[in-house]
Amino acid sequence: MPSSEKKPRKLSKQQEIIHAFLKDPSSCYWAKETRFANILIKRYSFEWLISLKNRTRVISLIWFLGENGKKFLEDIKRYQSLEFKKEKYELQNDPVAPPQVIDKKPKTVKDFLNLFN
């Protein structure tokens, strides 16, 4: 392996969160964004936050600590916790209404002639 090729450095959890949610991570103030990422990782989990990657892009992670950001994250969390259960219905053998005889009108000549048999 030539010495000029280097493996890309592994990002920390905070850096991954910053890259996942910021519109332009290269021009942000990294110290503040890292602090906000730490708060988000403590409140929610890192794995859950990364699962939301590409859902929304913001200018700063502080948006998630504000009213709209908290509502956004809580709505997603509530939606993901929904469980849809398949209910089972048992049919009864007892008829609900008495059976009725339906008289069919003849549609063809043959049906009309069969009425008299």
Residue 48 lies in a domain: yes
At residue 32, what are phi and psi to the nearest 5 degrees? -70, -45
Residue 98 lies in a domain: no
Residue 95 lies in a domain: no
Residue 25 lies in a domain: yes
Q: Report the candidate in 43, 40, 51 with the shortest Cα–Cα distance to residue 14.
A: 40
Residue 28 lies in a domain: yes
Number of domains in the chain: 1
Q: Report the candidate in 40, 96, 112, 26 with the shortest Cα–Cα distance to residue 69.
A: 40
Residue 5 lies in a domain: no
Residue 18: which domain range? 13-67
Residue 99 lies in a domain: no
Q: Report the candidate in 36, 116, 107 with the shortest Cα–Cα distance to residue 70.
A: 36
pLDDT in tens, the chain (117 residues): 555 677 888 888 888 888 888 888 788 888 888 899 999 999 888 998 888 888 888 888 889 989 998 999 999 889 888 888 888 888 888 877 888 777 778 888 888 888 777
Residue 100 lies in a domain: no
- Whole-model pTM: value is 0.59
Question: Which residues have a Cβ under 8 Å from the Cβ of 104 and sit 6 or more positions away?
Answer: 111
